[in-house]
């Protein structure tokens, strides 16, 4: 069983939300702009979900605009604020928290350049606990035009001091944007009370599908639509509404408002504690970057000294535990976390940090099982002999050096049967055999020793390297090709796609072991 612990990146869709979306696609598919009965029913649904959004956010006036997600909401808010500053001839600085999601500083930079405003852009420093430096903010508030602060951080779970920020901005003319993505359904934002001008939200972080979100705009706050056309959303956001997404979001709001589906904060704190204890037992040197008392009860950010994030994530993945390093957007690039750097962590700590995040609808027994698997991961790493793996310089990509799962399947049915080599580290191989591929074990970190042996094999025997994602095996194939052996390959997409494609059965293999 795979255990998904990356809820801050995205969540599965709640069964009720899926059912609501399907009902809209199959039966209530009317366009809310149409005046016949189908259209009127769609309009009623749209209005009902907007009313529920108001109840969830506890706001009675201002706009709720449905968007494609938070990134669009952020663009809309930033564009609105900048056009307002321009119209007023004000040259206020654009301030954003140093740990904001990239969408915020990138939107500020982009629209500032597109509009030719050239307003100063400054990051609000944060302390070692990840919270904004309120004294700094107070000092710069008078000269600010727009201030952007997230409600809770996606990498560490740190909850911002919104009351303190509101106080620091009390005498400021600045507009205030609060990115509410990670707070939706978890924290009461008290938007109206705190005079927050803009708050973008995203459905897919709270069990609705991707492609639906909403933007709250305070009554009287400047607003300019980002998308114009048919005048939908009272002209605030044109384009036929994403009714399936809106219906799904409505079902999530029902679950929030009616109770019974999502765990309460106390229960989630206890679950997080259980996971943390398991991690500490498995990795006694664990360094925690999430200050527990001031963070979302669903998030843990930690590092294990001497073990890179990539190494740790490979290990967890082999145990069927899906965690991530930093934010989902930068995960593919494996950069050291800018959030942890802003919190004063060293380069090593920022490069080793891993995020665990679960959701309020997760099953307690599954989380307990995850805790058991962490113990197995710790034991496997100790058995392998923990130590940093060499950092490998990137090699230029090579065309035609990878096989798809279908090509490997076909090759396995031919003679000579290819030699399959698993280049994952030994701890990973111990946690999960290579989907029964009967592979020879040769961890990438020890590949040098095995190269001469493969070079000596008959030229017509294909050698195919496999790993978790296809990255390490591509490197192994390149190294062997550089050493002069042409007939070698990697498995594109790695064992992740091989098992997902159900290739185990086709290859007559045994199912993947799960710890
Ligand atoms: N803000 C925060 C804090 C996030 O975590 C994310 C998603 O990763 C976003 C903004 C962007 O949200 P969306 O994916 O809906 O565009």
Is 181 near ligand 1, meaning CB less than 6 Å away?
yes
pLDDT of res. 405: 92
The two tokens of residue 367 are 């989380």
Closest residue CA from atom 7 of ligand 1: 9
281-300 burial by CB neighbour count: b if 16+ within 10 A, else e?
Answer: ebbeebeebbbeebbbbbbb
- Spell out the per-residue pLDDT of the chain, length 515, in tens: 999 999 999 999 999 999 999 999 999 999 999 999 999 999 999 999 999 999 999 999 999 999 999 999 999 999 999 999 999 998 899 999 999 999 999 999 999 999 999 999 999 999 999 999 999 999 999 999 999 999 999 999 999 999 999 999 999 999 999 999 999 999 999 998 999 999 999 999 999 999 999 999 999 999 999 999 999 999 999 999 999 999 999 999 999 999 999 999 999 999 999 999 999 999 999 999 999 999 999 999 999 998 989 999 999 999 999 999 865 555 455 578 999 999 999 998 999 999 999 999 999 899 999 999 999 999 999 988 756 566 666 666 666 789 999 999 999 999 999 999 999 999 999 998 877 787 899 999 888 888 888 989 999 999 999 999 998 999 999 889 988 888 999 999 998 888 766 644 443 333 332 22
Is 103 near ligand 1, meaning CB less than 6 Å away?
yes
Q: Which atom of ligand 1 is nearest to the CA of 71?
A: 16
pLDDT of res. 389: 63
In the block, residue with structure tokens 């999601």: 101
Closest residue CA from atom 5 of ligand 1: 154
Catalytic residue (choose from 329, 377, 435, 467): 329
CA 107 to ligand 1 center in whole angstroms = 13
Alpha helices in 143-295 (DSSP H): 162-168, 243-258, 265-282
Q: Which atom of ligand 1 is nearest to the CA of 8?
A: 5
CA 101 to ligand 1 center in whole angstroms = 7
Is 100 near ligand 1, meaning CB less than 6 Å away?
no
Q: Which atom of ligand 1 is nearest to the CA of 153?
A: 3
Is 160 near ligand 1, meaning CB less than 6 Å away?
no
Is 156 near ligand 1, meaning CB less than 6 Å away?
no
3-state SS, residue 512: coil
In the block, residue with structure tokens 């800018």: 338
Q: Are strands 419-422 and 213-217 parallel, antiparallel or unpaired?
A: unpaired
Closest CA to 479 of 512, 444, 511: 444
CA angle 431, 393, 475 (to 5 degrees): 50
Burial of 407 (0-12, 13-18, 19+ CB in 10 A): middle
Active site residue 329: yes
pLDDT of res. 327: 54
CA 152 to ligand 1 center in whole angstroms = 11
CA distances from 42 to 30, 68, 177, 215 (A): 5, 18, 31, 20
Distance from chain centroid for Cα 343: 20
pLDDT of res. 171: 95
Is 149 near ligand 1, meaning CB less than 6 Å away?
no
pTM of the model: 0.91
Give the integer Cα–Cα distance in Å for 492 and 469: 8
Is 151 near ligand 1, meaning CB less than 6 Å away?
no
Instruction: Extract the runs of DSSP E, i.e. beta strands, from 116-253.
Output: 121-124, 144-150, 175-179, 198-202, 213-217
Q: Which atom of ligand 1 is nearest to the CA of 204?
A: 15
């Amino acid at each position: 069983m795979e255990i998904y612990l990356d809820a801050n990146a995205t969540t599965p869709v709640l069964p009720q939300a899926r059912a609501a979306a399907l009902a809209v696609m199959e039966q209530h598919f009317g366009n809310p702009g149409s005046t016949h009965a189908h259209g009127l029913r769609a309009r009623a649904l749209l209005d009902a979900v907007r009313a529920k959004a108001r109840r969830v956010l506890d706001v009675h006036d201002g706009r709720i605009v449905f968007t494609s997600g938070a990134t669009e909401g952020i663009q809309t808010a930033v564009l609105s604020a900048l056009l307002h500053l321009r119209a007023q001839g004000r040259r206020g600085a654009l301030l954003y928290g140093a740990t904001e999601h990239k969408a915020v500083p990138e939107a500020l930079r982009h629209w500032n350049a597109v509009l030719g405003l050239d307003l100063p852009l400054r990051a609000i420093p944060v302390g070692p606990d990840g919270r904004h430096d309120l004294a700094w903010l107070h000092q710069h508030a008078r000269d600010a035009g727009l201030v952007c602060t997230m409600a809770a951080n996606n990498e560490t779970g740190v909850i911002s001091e919104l009351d303190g920020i509101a106080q620091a901005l009390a005498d400021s003319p600045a507009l205030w944007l609060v990115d509410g993505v990670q707070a939706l359904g978890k924290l009461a934002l008290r938007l109206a009370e705190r005079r927050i001008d803009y708050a973008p939200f995203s459905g897919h972080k709270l069990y609705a599908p991707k492609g639906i979100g909403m933007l709250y705009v305070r009554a009287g706050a400047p607003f300019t639509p980002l998308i114009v056309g048919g005048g939908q959303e009272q002209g605030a956001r044109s384009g036929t509404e994403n009714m399936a997404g809106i219906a799904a979001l409505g079902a999530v709001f029902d679950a929030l408002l009616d109770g019974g589906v999502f765990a309460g904060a106390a229960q989630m704190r206890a679950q997080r504690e259980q996971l943390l204890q398991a991690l500490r037992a498995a990795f006694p040197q664990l360094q925690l970057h999430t200050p527990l008392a001031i963070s979302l009860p669903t998030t843990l950010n930690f590092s294990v000294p001497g073990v890179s994030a990539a190494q740790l994530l490979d290990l967890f993945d082999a145990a069927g535990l899906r965690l991530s390093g930093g934010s989902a957007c930068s995960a593919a690039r494996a950069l050291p976390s800018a959030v942890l750097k802003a919190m004063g962590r060293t380069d090593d700590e920022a490069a080793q940090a891993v995020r665990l995040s679960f959701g309020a609808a997760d099953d307690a027994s599954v989380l307990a099982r995850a805790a058991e698997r962490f113990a197995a991961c710790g034991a496997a790493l100790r058995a392998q002999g923990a130590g940093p793996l060499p950092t490998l310089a990137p090699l230029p990509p090579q065309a035609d050096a990878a096989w798809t799962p279908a090509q490997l399947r076909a090759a396995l049915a031919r003679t000579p049967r290819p030699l399959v080599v698993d280049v994952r580290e030994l701890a990973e191989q111990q946690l999960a055999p290579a989907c029964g591929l009967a592979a020879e074990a040769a961890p990438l970190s020890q590949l040098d020793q095995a190269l001469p042996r493969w070079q000596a094999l008959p030229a017509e025997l294909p050698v195919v390297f496999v790993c978790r994602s296809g990255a390490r095996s591509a490197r192994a194939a390149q190294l062997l090709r550089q050493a002069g052996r042409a007939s070698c390959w990697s498995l594109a997409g790695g064992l992740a796609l091989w098992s997902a494609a159900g290739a185990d059965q086709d290859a007559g293999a045994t199912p993947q072991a799960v710890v």
